[in-house]
Structure 1
Amino acid sequence: MQRITITVSDTPHPLAQDQNIDRIEAAALEAVRGGGDIVKVTLYGNRELAILVSPGVPITFEVAEVPEESRDDGDLDNPFEPDSAFLNDYLS
């Protein structure tokens, strides 16, 4: 499966498996064109990240093939602590 990482100002954030990169990119572009806005994404670990997207804030997207993680279902009411070797390998 594919894992998307969004990097904001040099800080990488792996997204939950169900996040739609096209929707996030469109929301980021709309925010920049509008002078700035908050774009919310769900992170790996079922946590929400609110990003203030504005002109001058560097944002990059990286897509990588990774093993599926059954706990990573995007359910913000059930966060989990990523404690697997998978995450350690993924974030290094």
Structure 2
Amino acid sequence: MQAYTLTVGDRPFRLHRSCDVAELTTALTSAVRAGGGMVSLPVAGDVTVAVLVSPGVCVVLEIHEVELATGVAGEVDFPWLAADDLEY
């Protein structure tokens, strides 16, 4: 299973696993080409997020391969962790 993290500037956002990545990248690209615009992000959890994307803002889409735990059929109440989420 793939999981996605979108970082806008220095702020990472965990995307909902049903996110249409192609549609989101099209919206982000369109906003930059238009000189800037608000883009709604399909983030994980019970929150709504819209970000202002403009030329010069660093946007990074990370795709992580994660294994779904046996017996977990639906959404979980906590976000998955990537290796860079851990502080040593």
- TM-score, with structure 1 as normaliser: 0.74
8 A contact 1:5–1:13 mirrored in 2: yes
Counterpart contact for 1:3–1:63, Cα < 8 Å:
yes
Aligned length: 80
CA RMSD of superposed structures (Å): 1.9
Deviation beyond 3 Å, 4+ runs, structure 1: none
Q: Which runs of 5+ in 2 are unaligned?
A: none
Query: Does structure 2 retain, via aligned residues, the 8 Å contact 1:16–1:46?
Result: no
Gaps of 5+ in 1: 73-79
Structure number with greater Rg is 2
- Pair 1:21-2:21 in alignment: yes
SS at 2:48's partner residue?
strand
Helix, strand or coil at the partner of 1:47: coil
Percent identity between the two aligned chains: 32
